[in-house]
A and B are shown apart, each in its own frame.
Chain A
Amino acid sequence: MADDMTGGVPVATVARVGVTLTVNGADYRLDLDSRVTLLDALRDRLGMTGTKKGCDQGACGACTVMVDGKRVLSCLTLAAQCEGKDVTTIEGLAADGVLHAMQEAFVRHDAFQCGYCTSGQIMSAVCLLAEGRAGSDDAIRQFMSGNLCRCGAYGNIVAAIREVRDAGGHDA
């Protein structure tokens, strides 16, 4: 990495990286500024805007996606770190136009208002069930507390997750 000097201030030239992202089962070859996060790669480079940016600081959960089956904050993950990993986003949850049980439950229970946190909530909720951490309402509340909802849909989010859990729908 070289620095060139302009007006006495060093200007960094930024390394580019080649990365193959596997998103919702499809491979995408990207040539990226090495600073690009997984979130921005999804949104700005691949046009998959279902994953949302609420803070870009790892504090809100709006950007939650699944990487190799685990929920991660895509704003705190560099795209370059995801080579060879399986990324699932909200766009990959419904199969052949049929909503995932969690998506359906969110609609029925009105578990969102503006909908901005919803992709992250749903990805988190799906992982929560897979983690086996949704045993009680208190557990759901605790383990969903990394996903902020400013509209305050928390009660309905808990109800939706409870319903999917009780129906035995814990496969993502």
Chain B
Amino acid sequence: MTTVEQRTGLVGQGVDRVDGPLKVTGAARYPNDFSYPDLAYAALVRSTVAAGRISRLDTAAALASPGVLAVITHQNAPRLERAPDSGLTAPPPPLQDDRITFHGQYVAVVVADSAEEATAAARRVEAEYEPAEPILDMGDPRAEWITDPWGTDSSRGDLKGALASAEVRFEATYTTAANSNSPMGLFSTVAVWDGDDLTIHDSTQWPSYLRKAIAQVFSLPEGNVRVLCPYVGGAFGAGLRAWPHIMLAALAARTVGRPVKLVLTRPEMFTGVGHRTASEQCVKLGATRDGRLVALAHESTTPLQIEGTQFEPCTAGSASAYACPNVITRDRQVRLNIPWCNFMRAPGEAQGNFALESAMDELAYELGMDPLELRLRNYSEDNPRLELPWSSKSLRECYEVGAERFGWSRRSPEPGSMRDGDSLIGYGVAGVSFFWYQEPCEARATLRKDGTAVVRSAVTDIGTGTYTVMTQLSAECLGLDMAHVTFELGDSDLPAGAAAGGSGLTAAVGSAVQAACRNLVRAFLDTVRDDPTSPLQGCTIDEVSVGGGRIHRIDAPESGEAYADILAAHGIGELSADGSSTPNDPKVAGMAPSGAFAARFVEVRVDPDLGLMQVARVVSVVDAGRILNEKTATSQIMGGTVGGIGMAMLEEIVTDPGTGRVANATFGDYLIPVNADIPDMEVAFVGRPDRFNSVGVKGVGEIGLVGIGAAIANAVHHATGRRVRSLPITIEQLF
């Protein structure tokens, strides 16, 4: 059977999203769109201190409020088990004791006949606290420090010696603010019990894990729990944990014996579903006069909530970004009384890349060298950390194509030297070497007697385009029209799916889908193996190809048989096959798994008189391996870029230093980019299919955000001569 790589068919084409018509008509159903007869509504009560104990809870008034069915607190909640870890620790089950570790922790859930009644009654729950002095500052001597939390720290060569003897040295500290995922879809759970069976509609990115988590919390067999999430209103990482509110919805439904809907409020989204941590990073660089890096040290400290883990390696990427013989990277975390830290689009990389790529720009100025040239001079042909060849790398081409399209050669090196009328113009560049993370995944492909196929996996499409690209891939692997293939996802009863996270989903589910389709073709060949009337009798998988709804012989394409005819001839209703994928091992494969690479070019315009700062243009050139759908992949990069502009210029969770309360937990106060903030963006893809997974993809969901912060900071410096080492960069910092 010919491999997908050799085909020039459906895959790659920028076809419209298959779920597009549902989304533009309002017919796509998100978790909070589901309703049930006799549905009750839940509202949450959150703590108003960041540390201490609940000393008194009075629920009488709430209970007496109109329509109220139940008020659950730690005083009457049943014991719940802890969810299993997913690689990250799960948040502890809610309402199990009186301890408070952050401002906004749930202390009660109120269930009522209507949402209005639940909300009104929740305000009547009276809570008093015995507060403790919260730890809110990384400099607080009481704070617990964790060094090398994930074993990702690295060291090679002799950093100290190399730094001491370097011809040019540079050192600076960079900070980034805490950011909120803030997907537009309010995270919601609808919980429905039927005896000991529980159905959950939820805004999750990982139904297979969430099912396991809920089952364990409620001590149920996993098979009793079904998690549904055919559409999720964005998540950007927030849907990767089994959050306490999910358990509260299920608990509320069991308590009142009715289905319960719990929709988080926008302010609750800031404390209840994680956030990107702030960071404080130090970068030290040593180089020769002609711009060869001889030393690179990158150290980062990030806050962490009081209990549980978070994987946020800010410095790990720096170990393999450049060819440099003497390198140290170190991450540390400090426990604070803050809401849960969690993944947010490009965790760690977003912060780490800002520090490293800003420092490279600063070094370029010290050397009097073009920042682009400095990057090319230190290009890592092999993965310098694993000392293995990359599975694919076209970063050089990203720089070249990007520079050409952007017009980098028009840049005059002197800061403040480019103007257009009253505006100072700045050009900035940043390089990105992204990592990715793949998990095991399963899929099942089924061909039905009418010749149509359905392919299934319990994954999610959080806007990334999984429905569409997996339909394309399945159609191509089976030789069917896209219109004859349906891809089903978002249901934990389907074959176990990987998380939509770590930019690894497309590789994981794509490889599983490919395997399932190939096995399905094998199953058809098995069916006709002994059929003397079939032109495919005795054919092996390597002797056939697919197309036009049929399997045919490669050596005689006219000799073949349609799937539907085979099923009919053998009296079979439908035929299914399973496929699975597991990540490759770098040592066995003899190559270092490449994530996507990118070069980001940004033009900013600053009007010093009016105090205006605007990103005017962004050119992104990305090596993401094989692109399954040019249209949706471009959208991913553009969307990530918008997130990057937010991180660079707008977004900052402000925590009240006295109380630990998130002080700007609304869209009126926590600013995210609006349409008018976003300039023209150009996206181009370069490179070849990656060799590390059979589909050849590298993931495009996160890299779009990375590098924008540094490119903007570098452009701002070029425009104004001001070096801003903290994100977000606001106009007040410039003048």
- Which residues of A approach B to under 8 Å, CB–CB? 6-9, 11-14, 33, 35-36, 40, 43-44, 47-57, 59-60, 62, 89-91, 93-94, 99, 103-104, 106-108, 110, 112-119, 122, 138, 140-142, 144-158
Contacts and interface: CB of A to CB of B under 8 A. Distances in A.
B697 interface: no
B186 A152 contact: no
Contact of B675 (A40, A44, A116, A145): A145
B65 interface: yes
A44 B667 contact: no
Nearest to B468: A110
Contacts of B673: 152, 154
Contacts of B465: 113
Interface residues of B, number: 70
A104 B21 CA distance: 8
B625 interface: no
Given A110-B631, A148-B184, A151-B463, A55 B667 contact: yes
Contacts of B538: none
B668 A57 contact: yes
Contacts of B263: 53
Given A47-B35, A107-B20, A122-B24, A116 B233 contact: yes
A108 B631 CA distance: 9
Interface of B: 16-17, 19-30, 32-33, 35, 58, 60-61, 64-66, 114-117, 120, 124, 182-186, 231-236, 263, 265-266, 462-465, 631-632, 634-636, 638-643, 666-668, 672-678, 680-681
A118 B25 CA distance: 9
Given A49-B35, A56-B266, A117-B184, 16 more contacts: A9-B64, A44-B35, A44-B114, A59-B266, A94-B25, A107-B21, A107-B24, A116-B183, A116-B233, A144-B675, A147-B675, A148-B672, A149-B642, A151-B635, A154-B642, A155-B638
Contacts of A14: 66, 116, 120
Nearest to B29: A49
A55 B183 contact: no
B25 A99 contact: yes
21 contacts: A8-B61, A9-B60, A52-B30, A55-B266, A56-B266, A57-B667, A59-B667, A89-B26, A91-B26, A99-B21, A103-B21, A103-B24, A107-B16, A107-B24, A113-B234, A114-B185, A145-B674, A149-B184, A149-B675, A150-B182, A150-B234
Main secondary structure of the interface of A (DSSP, over half): loop
Nearest to B678: A154
A141 B678 contact: yes
Contacts of B265: 56
Contacts of A147: 675
Contacts of A144: 675-676
Contacts of B66: 11-14
B641 A152 contact: yes
Contacts of A140: 675
A84 B681 CA distance: 45
A35 B116 contact: yes
Contact of A54 (B58, B184, B639): B184
Nearest to B680: A155
A40 B115 contact: yes
A54 B32 CA distance: 11
Most buried by B among A7, A12, A94, A155: A155
Most buried by A among B185, B265, B631: B185
A-B pairs with lowest CB-CB distance, top 8: A50-B26, A152-B642, A116-B233, A113-B463, A114-B463, A115-B23, A152-B639, A6-B64
A141 B666 contact: no
A114 B124 contact: no
A36 B673 CA distance: 30
Contacts of A62: 184
Given A35-B116, A141-B678, A113 B266 contact: no
Most buried by B among A36, A59, A89, A144: A59
A51 B184 CA distance: 13
A52 B631 CA distance: 25
Contact of B28 (A55, A115, A157): A115
Contacts of A119: 26
A106 B635 CA distance: 13
Nearest to A8: B61
A141 B234 contact: no
A43 B26 CA distance: 11
A113 B26 contact: no
A36 B27 CA distance: 23
Nearest to A44: B115
B231 A115 contact: yes
A148 to B, nearest CB: 6
A54 B117 CA distance: 20
B19 A93 contact: no
A103 B25 contact: yes
A60 B30 contact: no
Contact of A36 (B32, B116, B639, B640): B116
Contacts of A151: 184, 234, 463, 635, 639
Contacts of A114: 183-185, 231-235, 462-463
Nearest to B667: A59
A53 B681 CA distance: 29
Contacts of B58: 7
B676 A112 contact: no
B235 to A, nearest CB: 8
B678 to A, nearest CB: 4
A80 to B, nearest CB: 13
Given A33-B116, A59-B668, A93-B25, A153 B639 contact: yes
A32 to B, nearest CB: 9
Contacts of B641: 152
Nearest to B64: A6
Nearest to A49: B33
Nearest to A112: B23
A150 B718 CA distance: 29
B115 A112 contact: no
B184 A113 contact: no
A158 B675 contact: yes
B64 A141 contact: no
Contact of A12 (B60, B120, B642): B120
Contacts of A104: 24
A7 B465 CA distance: 54
A13 B236 CA distance: 41
Given A11-B66, A116-B233, A148-B184, A57 B266 contact: yes
Nearest to A93: B25
B184 A153 contact: no
Nearest to B60: A7
Contacts of A9: 60-61, 64, 124
Nearest to A147: B675
Contacts of A44: 35, 114-115
A171 to B, nearest CB: 18
A49 B21 contact: no
Contacts of B60: 6-7, 9
A53 B673 CA distance: 19
B638 A156 contact: yes
A146 B673 CA distance: 11
A7 B64 contact: yes
A141 B676 contact: yes
